[in-house]
Structure 1
Amino acid sequence: MSPDPAREHLRVSDAERHEVAEVLRRAAGEGRLDLDELDERLEATYAARTYADLVPLTLDLPDDGSSPLPARPATGPAPAVRLEKTPEPPAPDGVRARQRHLAVMGGVDRKGAWTVPADLTIVAVMGGADLDMRQARYAARECVVTVHALMGGATIVVGPDVDVVMEGIGIMGGFAGPSDRDTPPPQVGAQVLRVRGVAIMGGVTVKRRPLPGVDDGRRRHRLH
């Protein structure tokens, strides 16, 4: 997809970013991108501000007409895609803004008081992750958790005041977010947790639950 000089400096919308992300996820599902490439391009997609930022991300992928970007020319090879790494944002108390964890036939567990980095990636191969964020601090107003699961998965528990945005793709698997029927949706301006990734024969589940101990009294009352 070649930049249109008349549009390349125009700002893109959230809906257009999501559409490009879906093109990339379908390409990963077809085996055209590996998980590292998908992670890198999705990161660049959601950081894009203009059409010129988005265009390079799908230049080497077939054009099925689903992208919101200008159509590529009918002839001529696509130029090589070069993605620039975005600098890591600062994080509190010396916590790394980006963290990566690999779980191969094993697991990653986090609970209690810990700091959720701005960008957390977990690759689970026949393994999984259990992340309880109810007592955690968040390194940024919007944190991103990317889970790439192959015959594995992750369970994430957040507090009632966290706004969860699900953007993952499942291939013989799936991503499931909290239901507003179980807990009321958080208020506008709440902490945002964006969950992305690809689950192949696996799954990623996000649950919104009360803080530990908050409902203990009511539970004891019902038992008596």
Structure 2
Amino acid sequence: MEARNLRVSDAEREHVGELLQKAVGQGMLSLGEFTERMDTALASKTRGELNSVLADLPGITLISDYEPPMYPSSPPPGYRQPYQPPAYQPPAPGPHTTTAHSSYGPSNSAVIRGRMSTVNRNGAWSVPPNLVIDTRMSSISVDFTRAVMQTQIVTVSIDDYASSITLIVPAEATVDMNGVQAVGGSATNKVGSGLRMGPLHLVVHGKVRFGNITARYPYSTTFRKMFGS
């Protein structure tokens, strides 16, 4: 089988996305061209299709020559482990607790994934302590106003390419977005980021590439504050 007909993996698509970002930074592609090529890259199934978005870019290594990086078994000297929030530890069953209510189930995390799609999470959905938003060229709305919280503090990890992400939180909630890195995009916090005294505190971190993420209150709450009611 020819190399161009070999199937590609998610790691190879991610690699091509990073190459396209570098091409934008070097002025070889406009944002419109980047969006079109990312669309093609994310939908590609073979190396030939994936290489088509790189063929006219000088100095770019084609995907047939790409090998996923090998990571050492132990970290290099001076390496600092990124902050990871501690996993929730349910209380031990006591005279007033039962096993059924002392755990959140098999996992304390959930993933919201979008690939060139629209995803709305709203209503009385159960929010775990750790939420991952993994998106590519999508429109994502995550509404916490009627959600059932398992913990007051929720960690939100973002891994995005060219999407629009909106986090809607209840009144008096706070959001910390200092850990968000925007590459050719934006991160906007329209919510208080002070003490964790309200019903919910979101700690948002991760990377937004050529997309945007916004944290805000519901429009009804904003209107009431505007008119002092």
Alignment of 1:22-33 (within 5 A): none
1:189 corresponding residue in structure 2: 197
2:182 corresponding residue in structure 1: 170
Equivalent in 192, 200, 209 of residue 200 of structure 1 = 209
- Give the C-alpha shift of residue 88 in structure 1: 4.0
2:165 corresponding residue in structure 1: 154
- Give the C-alpha shift of residue 209 in structure 1: 2.8
- Give the C-alpha shift of residue 94 in structure 1: 3.4
For 1:208 and 1:82, the matched residues in 2 are separated by 33
Contact kept in structure 2, 1:145 and 1:193, CA below 8 Å? yes
Letter in 2 for 1:173: G
The count of aligned residue pairs is: 142
Equivalent in 137, 145, 150 of residue 139 of structure 1 = 150
Per-residue Cα deviation, 1:62-91 (whole angstroms, up to 9, x for no partner): xxxxxxxxxxxxxxxx489989x9874257
For 1:160 and 1:111, the matched residues in 2 are separated by 16
| Structure 2, unpaired ranges of 5+ | 1-20, 23-74, 91-102
Higher RCO (CA 8 Å, separation ≥ 6 residues): 1
- Give the C-alpha shift of residue 128 in structure 1: 2.8
Contact kept in structure 2, 1:131 and 1:156, CA below 8 Å? yes
For 1:201 and 1:165, the matched residues in 2 are separated by 21
- What secondary structure is seen at the aligned counterpart in 1 of 2:124? coil
| Structure 1, unpaired ranges of 5+ | 1-28, 31-58, 61-77, 219-224
Alignment of 1:42-191 (within 5 A): 60=76, 78=77, 88-90=87-89, 94=105, 96-166=107-177, 167-179=179-191, 189-190=197-198, 191=200
Per-residue Cα deviation, 1:175-211 (whole angstroms, up to 9, x for no partner): 111155xxxx777522211111211100110102367
For 2:219 and 2:127, the matched residues in 1 are separated by 18
For 1:210 and 1:95, the matched residues in 2 are separated by 35
TM-score (norm 1): 0.51
Contact kept in structure 2, 1:150 and 1:200, CA below 8 Å? yes
Structure showing greater Rg = 2
The CA RMSD over aligned residues, in Å, is 4.1
Letter in 1 for 2:182: G
For 1:145 and 1:121, the matched residues in 2 are separated by 6
